[in-house]
Structure 1
Amino acid sequence: MILDQVLQRKEASKKRFSEDRSSEKPIRSVAKAVSWRVIGTMDTLVISFILTGEVVLAASIASIDFVTKMFLYFFHERIWNKISWGK
């Protein structure tokens, strides 16, 4: 009886995974966040340098931008992944 319940749960979890192929794993969201932030940070670095004329200040701005926006993007992706609209 217990074995039947374990097997039923295992089959149910497989079914849920195969039905939810449009969902992303969190590691994919992390990879997308990092790659996008590298592009965005280079943009921020260039713009900051053009506006300030100082490499150190521009790099400081870009560094803070990289960290904060990477976390924001990750959570933004995870929230959107839960929304079924448009899938």
Structure 2
Amino acid sequence: METRMRTIVKAVIWNLIGLAVMALVGAFITGSVMAGGTMALINAAIGLSSYVLYERIWTRIQWGRCLG
């Protein structure tokens, strides 16, 4: 089982990677660094929250775990 802190650190690192990628894609598509950055920040906030919730739910599910 993971600690809450490990889950949060993993989520933050994953979202920083996603933030950079989304900012680049958003800037490329819109032609605006500001619009791309705004899109990336909104996406990162939603993604981080969703990921933490998702991971915490899965820590409570025993299916597929090897106990031994």
**Which residue is 1:64 aligned to?**
42
Identify which of 36, 50, 73 aligns with 2:51: 73
Higher alpha-carbon Rg: 1
How far apart in 2 are the matches of 1:41 and 1:61? 9
What's the % identity of the aligned pairs?
A: 32
Deviation of the 1:49 alpha carbon: 1.0
Greater per-residue helix proportion: 1
5+ residue gaps, structure 2, are none
Q: Deviations over 1:16-48 (max 9, x none)?
A: xxxxxxx11111110011000001111111111
Structure 2 CA distance, aligned partners of 1:86 and 1:39?
28
Q: Which residue of 2 aligns with 1:49?
A: 27
Q: For 1:73 and 1:46, how far apart are their aligned partners in 2?
A: 21
RMSD after superposition: 0.8
1:85 and 1:41 map into 2 onto residues whose CA distance is 32
AA of the residue aligned to 1:81:
T
Letter in 2 for 1:29: T
After the TM superposition, list the runs of 4 or more consecutive aligned residues in structure 1 that deviate by more than 3 angstroms: none
Structure 1: 5+ residue stretches without partners: 1-22
> Normalising to structure 1: TM-score of the pair?
0.71
Whether 1:84 and 2:58 are equivalent positions in the alignment is no
